[in-house]
Amino acid sequence: MRIGFGYDSHRFAEGRRLVLGGIEFPGETGLAGHSDADVLIHAIVDALLGAAALGDIGSHFPDTDPQWKDVDSTELLAAVTREVRAAGYRIGNVDATVICERPKLRPCIELIRERLASVMSVGKGRVSVKGKTNEKMDDVGAGVGISVHAVCLLEEARI
Ligand code: MG
């Protein structure tokens, strides 16, 4: 088994859609970014790549490449899932913590888990997403943006 850790953060930006875990939050302020700025998926992608020692999201999908402008991050997660499988691993589980003052994630957690599990082609029971506030501390607590920590376990598929 191999463990991976991923972290990402994005600032809120007016005039952008908010997408977390492939789910859109209508009416909420979105995040700045080259892609759709899905900070949750980006952290998970880095956890998966890290576990397989396959680099990081920036090396796979450079934000200087117009190909990835406004890309749907579920496409990135699907591509990385394929790459991890091709390297001989299967996804054991993914666990992520989303830190923000808003939006409230709880009502959408099940939907997000289902979406992420579907994109990674694993059972929903292998995907955990938790939402927390930062208790008004620091920039995330002041509502400047959203940060996400994610871990995953990969299992060698041929054992
Ligand atoms: Mg990012």
Which of 54-58, 66-70, 109-113 is predicted with the least confidence, judged by mean pLDDT? 66-70
Residues 45, 81 contacting (CB under 8 angstroms): no
What is the distance in A from the centroid of ligand 1 to the CA of 106? 22
Is residue 70 very low, low, confident or very high in pLDDT (cuts 50, 70, 90)?
confident
Question: pTM of the predicted model, to two decimals?
Answer: 0.97
The predicted pLDDT at position 65 comes to 87
What is the distance in A from the centroid of ligand 1 to the CA of 151? 16
What is the distance in A from the centroid of ligand 1 to the CA of 159? 33
**Tens digit of each residue's pLDDT (9 = 90 or more) over 11-32:** 999 999 999 999 999 999 999 9
Is residue 3 very low, low, confident or very high in pLDDT (cuts 50, 70, 90)?
very high
What is the distance in A from the centroid of ligand 1 to the CA of 147? 9
The predicted pLDDT at position 64 comes to 87
What is the distance in A from the centroid of ligand 1 to the CA of 8? 5
Distance CA 145, CA 78 (A): 25
